[in-house]
Amino acid sequence: MSSAPELPPEVLDRLAGRESVTLHLGLLGATTPVSAVAVPLRGMFYVLFRATPAAVQAMERSAVASLAAAADDESWSILARGRLLPGRSALLDDRRNELAHWVPDGKPGAWMAARFYAETLDYQTTGEGGRRRASGPLPGFAPLARWRLYNEIAYEPYQAWFLISTVLIVFGILAVAAPEERTIPVLLPSLLAGPSLVVAGRVLLAPLDLSRWRQGLDEESKLGRLAEAWVSPRELREDGWKIAAVSALAWMFLLAYAGSVVVGLVSLLSGAPVVLLAMAVRRRASVRREDRE
């Protein structure tokens, strides 16, 4: 599922199993570096490190991360920048048997296994020909716009509902809006109010999906693009509340400009309250089922 290309084989060989790798959670210099172990597995690059409260908080705030390593004789150095998926215990990961081989002290439960998606690389080596440096984005890397991510996690699962509700709202507003010059000012916030409320709800639930996966309660397939670490849990919550604020403004405008009848009509035709209730019920039912198990 990775959207970032793999590091070159020579770099992977240098990093494999090194216990002196430095992991920067967040922007370089923004947080205290963490001592880590680099673990390249088939098709995925992992980083093992101690699950300290500071490290967990740093992953909560930002998905940005960097890996740094250097030879003892300074013959080479590596700085790879990219994204880190908020990790979980090495005992809970799907590839725990492979990861256990790389744990330095034989206690995988004390180590966090996080996936690193490399984006750029600065690789320097010293040989007979002098100092060589390869620096820049990795070939094939393409960033993902935030709106595209939210389109995939919040719009596409409800695409049919969005289309149907849009048609119903348009015809409903055209039928009741009067006089004619008020149709457009009522129609536009009506089309925004219901869908944005559902998008906000889905984005706000996304950090819970990540949290449940980290606890081993959900399969990775439920994460979708969230598993590619394009955004941190904190950023998801912040964006979710921003979208919720836009939705609230649209609802308040409708109430002040068009009245409670139109608000009730848009609520009914959009089906937003029903969809949000279904989200909550489904999640609650899932939690209860897991508690019984």
Tell me: do 103 and 178 sit in the same domain: no
Residue 157 to residue 225: CA distance in whole angstroms: 13
The pLDDT of residue 2 is: 46
Of the listed ranges 1-5, 57-61, 112-116, 127-131, the least confidently predicted one is 1-5
Q: Please state, rounded to an integer, the average pLDDT across all residues of the chain.
A: 87
Instruction: Give yes or no for residue 203 having a pLDDT over 50.
Output: yes
| Cα–Cα separations (whole angstroms), residue 68 to 9, 212, 228, 256 | 16, 30, 21, 56
Tell me: do 183 and 97 sit in the same domain: no
Max CA distance (Å), the chain: 83
The pLDDT of residue 207 is: 93
Per-residue pLDDT band for 112 (boundaries 50, 70, 90) equals very high
Per-residue pLDDT band for 128 (boundaries 50, 70, 90) equals confident
Q: Which domain holds residue 156?
A: 146-292
Hey, what are 181's tokens? 């010059």
Tell me: do 212 and 260 sit in the same domain: yes
The pLDDT of residue 1 is: 46
* pTM given for the model: 0.86
pLDDT digits (tens, 9 = 90+) for 232-254: 999 999 999 999 999 999 999 99
Question: Is residue 270 included in any domain, yes or no?
Answer: yes
Tell me the HSE value of 60 on the side-chain side, using a 13 A CA sphere.
10
Last residue within a domain, chosen from 115, 137, 159: 137
pLDDT digits (tens, 9 = 90+) for 13-47: 999 878 789 999 988 877 778 999 999 988 889 99
Tell me: do 41 and 174 sit in the same domain: no
